[in-house]
Amino acid sequence: TKEKSLNFIEQIIEEDLKNGLPTEKLHFRFPPEPNGYLHIGHASSICLNFGLGLKYNAPVNLRFDDTNPSKEEQEFVDAIKQDVEWLGYKWANEVYASDYFQQLYDWAIQMIKDGKAYVDSQTSEVMAQQKGTPSTVGVDSPYRNRSIEENLDLFERMKNGEFEEGAHILRAKIDMSHKNMLMRDPIMYRIIKKAHHRTKDAWCIYPMYDWAHGESDYIESISHSFCTLEFLPHRELYDWFLDQVVTEDNIRPKQREFARRNLSHTVVSKRKLARLVSEGHVTAWDDPRMSTISGLRRRGYTAASIRNYADTIGIAKRDNLIDVSLLEFCIREDLNKIAPRVMAVLDPVKLVITNYPEGQEEWLDAENNPEEEVMTYRKVPFSKELYIEREDFKEEANSKFFRLTLGKEVRLKNAYIIKGESVVKDEHGNITEIHATYDADSRSGSGSEASKRKVKGTIHWVSAAHAVEAEVRIYDRLFVDENPDGNKEVDFLEFVNPNSLEIVKGYLEPSLSTAKEGDKFQFQRMGYFCVDKDSKPNQLVFNKTVGLRDTWAK
């Protein structure tokens, strides 16, 4: 059997195994910052790390990178856990960078004692200036050669809350003329006087990402720390910080980078998604138009479709924009297999079968899903007055119109062949009723000769008296531009589509009256729909997940 070729991340791992890393030392992590909800970009990272865990039977930690209390909240921690679980993955350990604050602090003290870190007391503007540019060397801070005693004293007092935010910071003492700007005495700690969602008021100094991340990996014995490409220049600093603490007998983690995955017609950045919520462009983080995992779930996406999407795009070494039609393809493919077919009319016009007996109703058999191995059926009511889709009728039509028109026959799905006879119009000329006759011998599945008659078109319908009314939310792309984030001159919110939500009243076959939140259906000929969490008994709300085919006009 031919094996799927290894991606470059797997090649890195295989190489390490070949060079003597024992398989049982493999250990991965997914490290979200709890400053927002996870989005479809994160799904790539989740599927990569947890996928490697499954492939190598290695543990994967869910690590919250919670080092900045001004942006992080418990709500986000809870949402992230829910989303990772929903995607179908199990973490070995739920861990927090904040678990390591004491250890990180102790290591920082050791670095001060070793002459590797110092307290700087200048303003951030001055320090930024002194850093220089890639083509110039930096300038040493006048505090760079503070005595170890003074540094230890100031750092302890920073920790004890004696200073205001911005008064002092702790910096690593590396090289102010280093060609990598990140190595020019980077900040390790800053004062933030905010309660932390876990450590509360225990700390008022917080470690920077670069200082906390590699050391957290080390503490957890992570073998491979995969992150996105923007961290490539940080790798040197990641390694330098590890050099300060790694002891021989412990595994030394390795940072490697892969490309960020961006999706067209949306944004994938927690900060930007947060603005969509706070500035009222959507209702919440889980608004079905959002690129968040929770938004996609509410929209009707399945976990399998998102995993399949992540798997299909794979991982790459260069950033690029993935067309959202690929994501839509993945959900369509999954829903085609699992979603029961039902009939719903979203833009109704009344159809009267003039030769059908007044007051009669019959319950016809309707196939649930032609993809099923063993076919199952449900009953749908048929009667004299029906609703059909307004666009499924034209008074006069050319020979390419395979729907209902006057004088021609069409099949009503799961029911009879009918023929258009006449229309009733209001004083503005709008059609209020279509009158048709039916062939009583043509019932689908009856086995009669007439039932086997071939007519050109089949349309869906619901019985007017039996129809269940529901609110149906139809979504368009949230952004009119393919890459709203791509133009640094223009704020992405300029590209928000003002018509991304249309609400209509739908008329559904009565089998849907018992549908529950999250249930997914194909409304035949209309697309895939799911029950929204805003539904109440007798007040169903549906979200359109995706159309039946890719009809997006490019």
- List active site positions: 33, 260, 270
Tell me how far, at minimum, the Cβ of 132 lies from ligand ATP, in Å.
27
Q: Out of ligand ATP, Mg ion, none, which partner does residue 220 contact, by CB within 5 to 8 A per kind?
A: none
- Least distance from C-beta 79 to ligand ATP, angstroms? 12
DSSP three-state, residue 520: strand
User: Per rule CB under 6 A, is residue 228 in the interface with ligand ATP?
Assistant: yes
Among the residue ranges 37-45, 68-76, 196-204, 488-496, the one whose residues contact ligand ATP (CB under 6 A): 37-45
- Verify binding: residue 213, ligand ATP, rule CB under 6 A: no
> Could you tell me the smallest distance in angstroms from the CB atom of residue 136 to ligand ATP?
30
- Short-list 332, 304, 312, CA closest to 261: 312
Figure out which of the listed residues 9, 32, 294, 299 binds ligand ATP, where binding follows CB under 6 A.
Answer: 32
By a kind-dependent CB cut-off of 5 to 8 A, residue 32 interacts, out of ligand ATP, Mg ion, none, with ligand ATP
Q: Which is nearer to ligand ATP, 219 or 417 (CB)?
A: 219
Q: State in angstroms the smallest separation of the CB of 543 from ligand ATP.
A: 24
Site string for ligand ATP, 404-443 (x = CB under 6 A): ----------------------------------------
336-339: long-range contacts, CB 8 A cutoff, minimum separation 24: 336/371, 336/522, 337/371, 338/302, 338/369, 338/520, 339/369, 339/520, 339/521, 339/522, 339/528
Is residue 227 close enough to count as binding ligand ATP by CB under 6 A?
Answer: yes
Closer residue to Mg ion (CB): 33 or 421:
33
Q: Which residue has the tokens 């929903």?
A: 86
Query: Is residue 268 involved in binding ligand ATP (CB under 6 A)?
Result: yes
Segment lying near ligand ATP (by CB under 6 A), choices 4-12, 188-196, 254-262, 351-359 = 254-262
Tokens standing for residue 390: 């307004």
The DSSP secondary-structure symbol of 197 reads: T
Work out whether 44 is an interface residue with ligand ATP (CB under 6 A). Answer: yes
Of 33 and 476, the one with the shorter C-beta distance to Mg ion is 33
520-523 and 341-342 strand pairing: parallel
The DSSP secondary structure of 65-101, one letter per residue, reads ----TTT--HHHHHHHHHHHHHTT---SEEEEGGGGH
Q: Least CB distance from residue 295 to ligand ATP, whole Å?
A: 14
Size of the site for ligand ATP (CB under 6 A): 17
Using rule CB under 6 A, residue 45 touches ligand ATP: yes
The Cα–Cα gap between 136 and 139 comes to: 10
d(CA 441, CA 22): 73
- The answer to whether the CB of 444 falls within 8 A of the CB of 412 is no
Return the one option of ligand ATP, Mg ion, none that residue 268 interacts with (CB less than 5 to 8 A, by type): ligand ATP
Q: Which of 33, 421 has the CB closer to ligand ATP?
A: 33
- Whether 215 contacts 245, CB under 8 Å: yes
Q: How many residues are listed for the chain in this entry?
A: 554
Q: Is 261 in the site for ligand ATP (CB under 6 A)?
A: yes
User: Residue 199: which residues within 8 A CB-CB, separation 6 or more?
Assistant: 98, 101
The residues in 13-52 that bind Mg ion, with binding defined as CB under 5 A, are 33
Nearest residue relative to Mg ion (C-beta): 33
33/471 with CB nearer Mg ion: 33
196 is an interface residue for ligand ATP by CB under 6 A: no
The Cα–Cα gap between 127 and 184 comes to 10
Taking Cα atoms as reference points, which of 347, 65, 357, 73 lies closest to residue 206? 65
Q: Do the beta carbons of residue 421 and residue 346 sit within 8 Å?
A: no
Q: Please state the closest distance from residue 501 (CB atom) to ligand ATP, in A.
A: 24
Task: Answer yes or no whether residue 98 interacts with ligand ATP by CB under 6 A.
Answer: no
Query: If 0-12 CB within 10 Å is exposed, 13-18 middle and 19+ buried, where does residue 509 land?
Result: buried
Q: Min. distance of Cβ 208 from ligand ATP in angstroms?
A: 13
Distance CA 222, CA 214 (A): 9
Interface size with Mg ion, residues (CB under 5 A): 1
Residue 154 and residue 122 in contact, taking contact as beta carbons nearer than 8 Å: no
What is the Cα–Cα distance from 523 to 509, expressed in whole angstroms?
10
Point out which residues bind Mg ion (CB under 5 A): 33
Point out which residues bind ligand ATP (CB under 6 A): 31-33, 41-42, 44-45, 65, 227-228, 260-262, 268-271
